[in-house]
Amino acid sequence: AQSVTQLGSHVSVSEGALVLLRCNYSSSVPPYLFWYVQYPNQGLQLLLKYTSAATLVKGINGFEAEFKKSETSFHLTKPSAHMSDAAEYFCAVSWMDSSYKLIFGSGTRLLVRP
């Protein structure tokens, strides 16, 4: 079955440190991949998406992610964490044959220490 896994329900970093949030998918067909952020009591905001163009995708707020087919991964990174980055992050996938639905991972809560 097609699925997406986010390793680590909580990640804690110091302000200014590297942020790395992990996402792996399982599928025999390369998917389209998305990262969303959710701030408390808000909906989801798209950070970036991969749709089979460049494997390194740059998004908003300094985030980027790299699609690695051999590792079936799409990890999210940011060189320097800011306090405002504290939120819940969701990796999501869709496939050409689904044409509509996103399948989400269980989320990773990012905590940023001053």
The residue behind tokens 């998918």 is 25
Give whole-number Cα distances, 72 to 16, 64, 113, in Å: 28, 17, 30
**Binds another protein (CB under 8 A): choice among 14, 42, 55, 61:** 42
Residue with tokens 């998305």: 34
Beta strand 73-78 with 64-68 is: antiparallel
Q: How far is the CB of 42 from another protein (least distance, A)?
A: 6
Q: What torsion do the CA atoms of 96, 33, 108, 61 make, to the nearest 10 degrees?
A: -140
Write each residue from 58 to 87 as x if it is in contact with another protein (CB under 8 A), else as -, in one continuous string: ------------------------------
Instruction: Using the rule CB under 8 A, give the single segment among 13-21, 55-63, 65-73, 104-112 that binds another protein.
Output: 104-112
Which stretches of the chain bind another protein, using CB under 8 A?
32, 36, 41-46, 49, 51, 90, 92, 94-96, 98-107
